[in-house]
């Protein structure tokens, strides 16, 4: 498809502080119930999606997430 | 109001066809006297095509049913002579509110385009529209237009032949047979015609149930569309309140799966639900209620031999977004001129195929919209609900999330981008008037562009020379010459010229654009006209 031509999905390191981001993400869930956490994740996802804005890129990201090896089950 | 519902507006009376020895052949027979059947018959008759409309009933619909009409269907109704009545009786609205629980999360207003004669929407009950269309039929009959409406005429059997259809019609005085060159089946989602011909109607059935009710209520509530997600009076479900003309209000309540439909439809149960929604102090009278579930289906092909399906008989969608009757009226608009040309020899029968191509695309778009809205209003999975609730939570404060809230995307005009009737775009003009799109309206002094297009092909020229009329294989195109110099509001310039100094447009009888270029070219124009009439 034309996805990679119009909006390449960045899959190499792009975060300026990978450890810092990951810690902030995990810490944001501290003390929340499962359903509060789920809601937070959903809000975060929507905010980030709007920040990206490009549907072609977002679709590429969704497809990438869906086709990645089912890591959580295979560990 | 009750009186109107019961009054037979087209009671059975004996037709001379019933006393003929041999079946009488008609050019077009329409089955069904809902908005789509009536509009199809009116459109044909006002263009001089002889049409007989058969209905097993004799009166208008009970209850509001389809009651929100979008701009394009309003333009169509205007073209077929019902505009004045629609404007008079319809209720204009443009504002809405969205609630989560009992909290208002935001309000919105549809921006009206001042360049258009018709507003984005009017609310009017389906029965009122049917009444207007029947009045229009009576007026056409007074002008000797070739239109008949036969009540109490139930089609019992259909025979398909190469060049006609045979219909066995049951009446209170026994049955008779007629023939039609073309049959248009506008007999609704449960189409008996479709069943008799054994044609499948595939799609998705939704498990949810909805209660719709019309109430009479005197109140100073504004004419706004109020939509609730998870309201306290209907927990875990949705609700919709909208004003209709005549102090009537329309309420749609989601009931969820696994309910007892008969129980829910009882007036005392409906009233008690409405009471908890409107409050103890509200004074209202229940006029009509119905409990229903819905499906999203469409026929694979809207044309089967000489039988053509239009409206709900061809495609059914969820009620979110007012896409049923609105799509059906666009079906009628698309079909009538093609039937006329084919019957009069101005086009090959192949032109009729383009009806399916153009309208099936539109049906698919409506179904996708309908499925999207249904998923948002009634999420199918836990994750879908979590995402939906996150959108609603963010929508209270942030504009970006409001664009994702989907309580039914209201109908927008279909653009026939992939139609075989289009010629390649030869003008670097505005996108909104590209070939296939519906011709945008524009003010022309004290009237509007769409008012003067009429029922035929138009050659619209803006600051370009062209012949006053062009005839190609019996199809006559009349020129409408306009100039950007007279375009005070700049609407014409904005919508048809963009940065181009001049333009010529070929506009179809259904006010869709078939071709455009910067200046008139006789060879190209004739080729475009042949293409637009199914000859290339």
- CATH code, residues B431-532: 3.40.30.120
Q: Beta strands B238-243 and B248-254: pairing type? A: antiparallel
Taking the alpha carbons at both ends of chain B, their separation in whole angstroms is: 52
Fold of B207-293: D-Amino Acid Oxidase; Chain A, domain 2 (3.30.9)
Band of residue B2 on the pLDDT scale cut at 50, 70, 90: very low
**pLDDT tens track for B239-268:** 999 999 999 999 999 998 889 988 998 999
- Supply the pLDDT for residue B283: 92
Phi, psi torsion values for B229, nearest 5 degrees = -100, 130
**Residue B385 at interface with chain A, using a CB cutoff of 8 Å:** no
CA distance A69 to chain B (A): 21
Reduced to 3 states (helix: H, G, I; strand: E, B; else coil), residue A57 is helix
- The helix-helix angle for A55-67 and A34-52 (nearest 10°) equals 140
- As beta bridge partners, residue B178 has B24, B167
Nearest to B95 by CA among B254, B242, B217, B277: B242
ipTM of the complex: 0.88
- Residue of B146, B472, B513, B507 whose CA lies nearest to B340: B146
The pLDDT, as a whole number, for residue B4 is 60
Min Cα distance A40 → chain B (Å) is 8
- Nearest CA to B55 among B164, B208, B170? B170
Predicted local confidence at residue B114, as pLDDT: 81
Q: How far is A42 from chain B (nearest CA, A)?
A: 5
Nearest to B532 by CA among B404, B520, B521, B511: B511
In-domain check, residue A27: no
CB contact under 8 A, A46 and B404: yes
Residues in chain A, overall count = 75
Nearest to B42 by CA among B61, B23, B28, B58: B28
**Position A4 confidence tier, pLDDT thresholds 50, 70, 90:** very low
3-state secondary structure of B119: coil
Closest residue in A to B404 (Cα–Cα): A46
Residue B346 CA neighbour count, 13 Å, CB half: 17
B386 contact A CB<8A = yes
Confidence of residue A3 (pLDDT cuts 50, 70, 90): very low
A35 neighbourhood in chain B, CB within 8 Å: 386
CA atoms within 13 Å, Cβ hemisphere of B481: 9
Q: What's the rounded Cα separation, in Å, for the pair B4 and B49?
A: 30
Within 8 A of A32 by CB-CB distance, chain B residues are none
- B433 pLDDT band (50/70/90 cuts)? very high
Asked, for residue A22, whether it belongs to a domain, the answer is no
Between residues B321 and A56, the one the model is more confident about: A56
Residue for token digits 């455009």? B516
Q: Who's near B400: CB < 8 A, 6+ residues apart?
A: A46, A50, B394
| B41: nearest Cα among B169, B140, B172 | B140
Helix (H) or strand (E) holding B354: helix B350-377
Strands B174-185 and B24-31: parallel
pLDDT band at B78 (very low <50, low <70, confident <90, very high): very high
> Taking the CA of residue B485 as centre, how many other CA atoms within 13 Å lie in the half-sphere pointing to its CB?
4
Pairing, β B457-462 against β B315-316? unpaired
pLDDT of residue A8: 85
Model confidence band, residue A70 (pLDDT cutoffs 50, 70, 90): low
| Domain extent at residue A59 | 33-75
pLDDT band at A7 (very low <50, low <70, confident <90, very high): low
| Nearest in space to B216 (alpha carbons), one of B147, B282, B127 | B282
Mention every residue, 6+ apart, whose C-beta is less than 8 A from residue B31.
B37, B53, B54, B55, B155, B183, B184, B185, B186, B187, B193
pLDDT at A19: 97
> In angstroms, how far is CA B158 from the centroid of its own chain?
26
Shortest alpha-carbon distance between residue B390 and chain A (Å): 5
Mutate to test the interface with B, among A46, A47, A66 (most CBs of B within 10 A): A46
Distance CA B198, CA B184 (A): 16
Q: How far apart are CA A27 and CA A33, in angstroms?
A: 13
Domains identified in chain A, total number: 1
Q: Residue A43: its chain B contacts at CB < 8 A?
A: 390, 393-394
- Positions of E strands within B152-198: 154-160, 165-171, 174-185
Q: Give CA–CA dist B303/B384, Å, rounded.
A: 37
The answer to whether B406 faces chain A, any CB pair under 8 Å, is no
Torsion sign (Cα): B51, B57, B59, B63:
negative
DSSP secondary structure of B406-460: -S-PPP-----TT-TTPPPPBS---GGGSTTSBPPP-EETTEEGGGGTTTSEEEE
Which chain B residues have a beta carbon less than 8 Å from that of A47? 394
Task: Determine the distance in angstroms separating the CA of A43 from the nearest CA of chain B, rounded to an integer.
Answer: 5
Q: Kindly state whether residue A1 falls inside one of the protein's structural domains.
A: no
On the question of pLDDT at B3 being above 50, the answer is no
Chain mean position to CA B119: 15
Q: What residue segments make up the domains of chain B, in order of their start? A: 2-90+120-201+298-366, 207-293, 431-532
The CATH class that applies to domain B2-90+120-201+298-366 reads alpha beta
Residue B340 dihedral angles phi and psi, to the nearest 5°: -60, -50
Q: What share of chain B is helix, strand, coil (3-state, %, to 5)?
A: 35, 30, 40
């Amino acid at each position: 498809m034309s996805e990679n031509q119009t909006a390449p999905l960045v899959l190499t390191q792009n975060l300026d502080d990978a450890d810092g981001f990951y810690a902030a993400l995990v810490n944001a869930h501290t003390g929340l119930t499962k359903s509060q956490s789920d809601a937070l994740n959903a809000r975060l996802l929507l905010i980030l999606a709007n920040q990206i804005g490009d549907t072609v890129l977002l679709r590429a990201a969704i497809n990438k997430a869906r086709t990645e090896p089912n890591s959580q089950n295979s560990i | 109001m009750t009186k109107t519902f019961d009054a037979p507006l087209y009671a059975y009376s004996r037709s001379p066809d019933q006393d003929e020895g041999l079946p009488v052949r008609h050019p077009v027979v329409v089955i069904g006297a809902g908005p789509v059947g009536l509009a199809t018959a009116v459109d044909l008759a006002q263009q001089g095509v002889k049409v007989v409309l058969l209905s097993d009933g004799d009166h208008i619909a009970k209850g509001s049913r389809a009651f929100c009409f979008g701009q394009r269907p309003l333009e169509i109704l205007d073209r077929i002579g019902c505009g004045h009545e629609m404007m008079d009786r319809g209720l204009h609205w443009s504002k809405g509110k969205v609630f989560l629980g009992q909290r208002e999360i935001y309000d919105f207003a549809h921006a009206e385009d001042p360049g258009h004669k018709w507003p984005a929407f009017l609310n009017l009950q389906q029965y009122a529209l049917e009444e207007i269309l029947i009045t229009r039929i009576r007026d056409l009959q007074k002008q000797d237009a070739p239109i008949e409406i036969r009540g109490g005429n139930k089609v019992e059997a259909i025979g398909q032949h190469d060049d006609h259809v045979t219909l066995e019609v049951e009446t209170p005085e026994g049955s008779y047979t007629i023939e039609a060159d073309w049959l248009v089946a506008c007999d609704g989602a449960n189409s008996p015609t479709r069943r008799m011909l054994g044609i499948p109607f595939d799609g998705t059935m939704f498990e949810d149930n909805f209660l719709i009710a019309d109430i009479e209520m005197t109140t100073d509530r504004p004419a706004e569309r109020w939509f609730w997600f998870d309201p306290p009076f209907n927990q875990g479900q949705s609700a919709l309140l909208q004003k209709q003309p005549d102090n009537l209000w329309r309420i749609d309540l989601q009931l969820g799966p696994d309910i007892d439909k008969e129980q829910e439809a009882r007036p005392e149960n409906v009233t008690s639900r409405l009471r908890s929604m409107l409050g103890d102090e509200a004074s209202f009278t229940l006029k009509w209620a119905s409990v229903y579930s819905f499906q999203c289906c469409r026929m694979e092909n809207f044309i089967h031999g000489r039988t053509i399906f239009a409206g709900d008989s061809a495609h059914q969608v969820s009620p979110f977004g007012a896409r049923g009757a609105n799509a059906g009226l666009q079906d009628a608009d698309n079909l009538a001129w093609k039937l006329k040309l084919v019957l009069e020899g101005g086009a090959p029968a192949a032109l009729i195929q383009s009806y399916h191509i153009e309208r099936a695309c539109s049906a698919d778009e409506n179904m996708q919209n309908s499925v999207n809205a249904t998923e948002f209003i009634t999420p199918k999975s836990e994750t879908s609900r979590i995402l939906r609730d996150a959108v609603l939570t963010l929508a209270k404060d942030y504009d970006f999330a409001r664009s994702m809230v989907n309580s039914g995307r209201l109908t927008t005009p279909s653009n026939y981008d992939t139609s075989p009737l289009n010629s390649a775009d030869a003008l670097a003009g505005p996108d909104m008037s590209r070939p296939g799109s519906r011709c945008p309206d524009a003010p022309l002094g004290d009237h509007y562009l769409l008012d003067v297009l009429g029922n035929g092909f138009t050659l619209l020229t803006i600051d370009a020379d062209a012949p006053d009329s062009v005839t190609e294989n019996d199809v006559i195109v009349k020129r409408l010459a306009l100039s950007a110099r007279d375009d005070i509001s700049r609407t014409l310039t904005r919508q048809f010229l963009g940065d181009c100094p001049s333009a010529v447009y070929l506009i179809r009888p259904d006010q869709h654009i078939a071709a455009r270029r910067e200046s008139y070219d006789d060879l190209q124009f004739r080729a475009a006209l042949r293409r637009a009439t199914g000859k290339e």
